[in-house]
């Protein structure tokens, strides 16, 4: 399986090359590039299955690399020294990444995931979702992985999330329901910066934009615009009432 490494730092290219050669016997490094234009030329020439690309580079960001192709028929694994926020953007966009300095386990896991993802379509959509989630507005779209593929969902279209065992069920404004094999806690952490989501109970996260009513009780019951209702725990009641009072 042919791969290309793109990084403006020679030391980083060499370090990743050594790791790949030592721990990924299925991969063959066919070229390296120090910038996006040279990477585009190498990709057109060698037709790699996987491209490892740094994000911060002169002139063009690694995130712009897919824009040079009408069809992205290779998987990209981004290498980055970005913060935890960037990790959330990668995970919610279903795009592979490596945090610098790269370690062997991280590398092999990313490669295994990339090989698996190559069997699926929607590479272009996943990369566009990543670019959107790196924008100033924060997380705006989720790539929800299911056994049959990936469903792309705008965060503004999510009415609420419900814990379903070790899975999470999404309820959308369209009436569609999507079951994802990730627990609710993972989404709570990743949606914190969106600003419109609130965990009302250990089993529910709601989009505050879809509240239609609130019934006070020991905890409380929140009515949503899709006709569903969710519980509000006693522990979350004071914070919730402060939020709705300020709106």
What's the pLDDT tens digit per position in 35-79?
999 999 999 999 999 999 998 888 998 888 988 988 888 999 998
Give residue 247's pLDDT. 66
Give the length of the chain.
Answer: 247
| Token pair of 10 as six digits | 């020679």
Residue 94 clears pLDDT 80, i.e. is over it:
no
**50 SS3 class:** strand
How far apart, in whole angstroms, are the C-alpha atoms of residue 36 and residue 62? 7
Residue 225: CB partners within 8 Å, gap ≥ 6? 159, 173, 210, 211, 212
Residue 152, phi then psi, degrees to nearest 5: -95, 130
Lowest model confidence (mean pLDDT) among 119-123, 153-157, 215-219: 119-123
Domains of the chain: 2-133 (3.40.50.2300), 141-246 (2.40.50.1020)
How far apart, in whole angstroms, are the C-alpha atoms of residue 207 and residue 183? 17
pTM of the model: 0.69
Cβ pair 179, 146 in contact under 8 A:
yes
Residue 109, phi then psi, degrees to nearest 5: -65, -40
């Amino acid at each position: 399986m042919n791969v290309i490494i793109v990084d403006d730092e020679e030391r980083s290219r060499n370090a990743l090359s050594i790791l790949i050669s030592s721990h990924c016997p299925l991969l063959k490094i066919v070229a390296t590039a120090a910038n996006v234009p040279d990477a585009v030329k190498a990709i057109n020439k060698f037709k790699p299955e996987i491209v490892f690309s740094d994000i911060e580079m002169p002139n063009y960001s690694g995130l712009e690399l897919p824009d040079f192709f009408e069809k992205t028929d290779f998987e990209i694994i981004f290498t980055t020294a970005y913060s935890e926020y960037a990790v959330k953007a990668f995970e919610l966009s279903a795009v592979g990444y490596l945090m610098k300095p790269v370690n062997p386990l991280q590398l092999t896991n990313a490669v295994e995931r990339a090989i698996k993802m190559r069997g699926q379509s929607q590479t272009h959509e996943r990369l566009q979702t990543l670019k959107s989630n790196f924008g100033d507005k924060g997380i705006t779209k989720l790539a929800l992985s299911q056994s049959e593929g990936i469903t792309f969902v705008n965060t503004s279209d999510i009415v609420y999330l419900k814990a379903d065992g070790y899975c999470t069920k999404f309820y959308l404004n369209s009436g569609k329901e999507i079951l994802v094999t990730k627990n609710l806690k993972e989404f709570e952490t990743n949606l914190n910066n969106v600003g419109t989501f609130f965990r009302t109970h250990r089993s529910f996260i709601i989009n505050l934009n879809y509240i239609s009513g609130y019934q006070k009780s020991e905890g409380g019951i929140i009515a949503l615009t899709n006709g569903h209702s969710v519980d509000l725990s006693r522990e979350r009641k004071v914070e919730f009432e402060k939020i709705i009072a300020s709106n």
